[in-house]
Amino acid sequence: MSDKHKKESAQPELPIEGTTPATAETKPANGNGTAHVLAEEVPALIAHHPFVPGKIELALHRRVNTSFLEYASYVIRDRAIPHLADGVKPVQRRILWALHEKDDGRFIKVANITGHTMQYHPHGNASIDDAIVVLVNKRYLIEGQGNYGNIYTGDPAAAPRYIECRLTELARTELFNDSITEFMASYDGRNQEPVTLPCKLPLTLMLGTEGIAVGLATRILPHNFPELLEAQIAILKKQPFKCLPDFPTGGLMDARDYQDGKGTVKVRAKIKLKDEQTIAIKEIPPTTTTESLMASIEDAVRKGKLKVKSINDFTSEDVEIEIKCPAGVDAEKLVDALYAFTDCEVNITSRIIVIRDNRPVELTVSEVLRANTDQLVVILKRELELKLKQLEDELHFRTLERIFIEERIYKKIEQCKTNEAVIAAVYEGFKPFAKQLVRAIADTDVERLLQVRIRRISLFDINKHREEMDKVKADLAETQKNLKNLTRYAIGHLEALLEKYGPLYPRLTTKSARHEEVDVKAVAFKSFKVAYDRETGYVGYKVSGEEFKLECTKFDKLLLVFKDGTYKVSELPEKLFVGPELFYCGLPEREKVFTCAYTDRNASYLKRFTFGGTILNKAYSCIPEKSRILFFAPETPKILYVRYKPAPHQKISQQTCDPNQIEVKGAKTRGRQISIKDISSVTAEPTRGWDDKAVTTPIVFV
C-alpha cells in the first residue's frame, strides 16, 4: 500500500452532516464504523440544516463526487489518451521502457516483456499483450517474430509465450536517452519509470490511436512517416506544408474534408475489373477486415441493395476478394453499388486530443507537428550540451593524463607518506601547466590520476595519445558549431532519417483529389418485385399477386391510387393491406402526366395532370368529393372511347375524344367537361359493345 493509501485509510470517517468533528469523534460507532445519531439530537440537526427540496448533500455524496472526478482524471491522463511529448499511451510507454531495459539486440519472448512491464503497469497482462501486438503491427518501434495476426483478415495473434519481439533500430536511436529522461515512482513505489520518453519522432501522428475516456474520446489517424519528416523540415525552414493520413491497409483516400485533422476522410477499397463478370478487391479501407467487408456485402445482397453471384476470399499476404457478377449485371455498376451500400467505402472522423501540461487539449495536425518539431530541437540541444560536457571532461582528463605521465609528476609522490601529502604533491606538480588545462584541477581529477596503473604509464604512447586528443578536439569543435547552428543541425538530423528510412515506409493509401459521388438510387439494383392481390387486399414485394407487377429498388416508393380518387405515396412495403379498391399502383414521378376521367352527379370530366410533390403516407384526392373514377391511365392515350348509358330520346350513344387537346395541370384541377349524360364506360380501346356503324362524333371541349 502506498503512503497516500495509508493516509487515506488512517483518516477517520467523515462526521455526519450537522455534527461537529469533536461531537462525531465522541459518539460510539456501529459495526460499519459509522457514528450513531441519537434520537434526541435529530431536531437539533434539522434546525441547523433545514431541508431544501431537490438538494441532498451527504458525506457519502461528496465522497462519490470526489472519487468520480479522480477516476475520470486518471482514465483521461494515465490510461486512454496519448501524451503529446512522446505520442504514446502509458501502457505503450511502459512496454517500450521494459524493452529498453531488457534490450540486448536479440528477440525476447512477449510473455517475458509482459511480466517485466507489469512492474510498472497496475493493470492486467491482457492489456499489455494486446498493446504489444498493436505496436508490432504498426512496424515502427517494435519488430516481431512469430504469428502476430493479420491486419487484413482480423486473425488474432498467437499466445504471448509463442511470439517474440525487440526494439527496432529506429526506436533505439530516437526514443531513449537515460541521461535526459525525467523519472517518477511506479504505482507501488518500488521502481522508477519515465514520465515521458525523450522522443525525437512525431509519434503522435506516426502511430495514430483511438482512446475512450470518461466523457472524452480521441481518434488520431496514422500518417506517413517520410511525409511527416518532410513536413518537419518545412517547419524548420519556415515553408508551407500539408500532411494527410496513410493507413496500413491501403485504399483510396479522399481527404478534401480533413481540415487539418478536425474533419473527416473518405476511404475506398481498391477494386479492379478482372473481366466483364469478375471484380477483385485488392485493398480494403481502415476499420474493416476482409471478413467484415464480406459480411457487409452479404448483408447488402440479403437486403436487395445489390446482386452478386458468388464471393470468395483468397487473401494471404495480400488482399484478394473475388466477386462474380450474375448474368445481366454490369461489373462497373456493381463496383458503384459496392461503394454505395457496403463497407467498401467508409468515412473516418479525426479528433486529435492529447495530454499536454497534464491536461487534455484538442489540436490540429499542424499544431501537433509544430510542437513535436520544437521538442525535437530542445532534445537535440540537450543532447549536444550533454555531449559537449562529456567531450570537455574527456579532453580535460586526457590533458591531465598526458602531463602527469610526460612530466613525471607521479615521481613526486614517491616520497610522500600521507594521503594529504600525495594530493598536495599532485596539485603542486600541475601548477606550471595550469594554462594548458581546460579547467582547474579538482579533487576528483586527482583521485582519477592516482588510479592510473603502472602498465598504462609504462606503455604510454605519446603519438597515439595526441591523435586521440585531436579527435576529441575535432568532435568538441563540431559540437560547439552544431549548438550555434541548432536549426541547421536539426534539419540535417531529419534529412538523415529521411534518407535512411524513407524507402522503408512508402505511402500505402493512394491520395485522390476527390471521389466521384455515387448516387445510391442510381446504382441500386431492382431486386424487389411488387405485386397486388385483390382478393386479400395486400400489396408489397412479399405478396404473390397478379396485378401491378413492378420491379423496384430498396429506395423506391409506391404511388397508390384508389377508386374513390384518393392517393398517397408510401415506402416500399413487404406486405401492406390496402383493401380491394386499389385502382393504380406505380412508381411516383413528379413530372409524369396522368389521364383521368371521372363523374359526379351532374356531369363527367376529363383532365391531364401531374401529381407533383407529396408528403409520405399523407392521403390526397385527385377528384372532387362524391365523385368516382371512370378512367385512369399513367399516360395520354391517342383516343378515348366514351359510351353513354341508354336513355329516352338519346340519339348519340357513343363518342370519341382526343385527350391531347387538354392542357396539363395539377392533381386538383377540375378538368374539361365531357358530357352531362350518364357515362357507362371510358376506355382507350374499343370494347365489346362498341358499334362501329353507329353515329360517332368527336367531343369538342369548351
Residues linked to residue 345 through DSSP beta bridges, in sequence order:
268
The residue-averaged pLDDT of 132-144 equals: 95
Question: Dihedral, CA atoms, 554, 559, 560, 566, nearest 10 degrees?
Answer: 150
pLDDT band at 420 (very low <50, low <70, confident <90, very high): confident
Non-local CB neighbours of 171 within 8 Å, separated by 6+ positions:
96, 99, 140, 141, 142
Structural element, H or E, at residue 304: none
| Residues 369, 203: Cα–Cα separation, whole Å | 10
Phi, psi of 528 (to 5 degrees): -115, 130
> CA-CA distances (angstroms) from residue 551 to 341, 530, 560?
19, 6, 15
pLDDT band at 306 (very low <50, low <70, confident <90, very high): confident
Q: pLDDT value at position 14?
A: 34
Active site residue 162: yes
pLDDT in tens, 516-564: 655 565 656 676 888 888 888 888 888 888 788 888 877 788 889 888 8
Structural element, H or E, at residue 188: none
Q: DSSP strand E in 299-447: where?
A: 310-313, 321-324, 345-349, 352-356, 359-363
Exposure of 30 in the CB half-sphere (CA atoms within 13 A): 6
Q: What is the pTM of this model?
A: 0.73
Mean pLDDT estimate for the chain: 84
Domains of the chain from N-terminus onward: 3-56 (no CATH), 88-198 (3.90.199.10), 379-503 (1.10.268.10), 589-698 (no CATH)
Which residue did the predictor score with more confidence, 275 or 53? 275
Q: pLDDT value at position 341?
A: 87
| Residues 541, 605: Cα–Cα separation, whole Å | 35
C-alpha cell belonging to residue 486: 541548432
Residues linked to residue 194 through DSSP beta bridges, in sequence order:
183
| Residues 641, 683: Cα–Cα separation, whole Å | 5
Catalytic residue (choose from 74, 162, 605, 620): 162
The answer, yes or no, to whether residue 9 has pLDDT greater than 50, is: no
3-class secondary structure for 421-434? Answer: HHHHHHHHHHHHHH
| Residues 399, 466: Cα–Cα separation, whole Å | 9
The cell 448516387 sits on which residue?
Answer: 519
| Residues 674, 680: Cα–Cα separation, whole Å | 13
Structural element, H or E, at residue 564: none
pLDDT in tens, 85-129: 999 999 999 999 999 999 999 999 999 999 999 999 998 899 999
C-alpha cell belonging to residue 88: 504514446
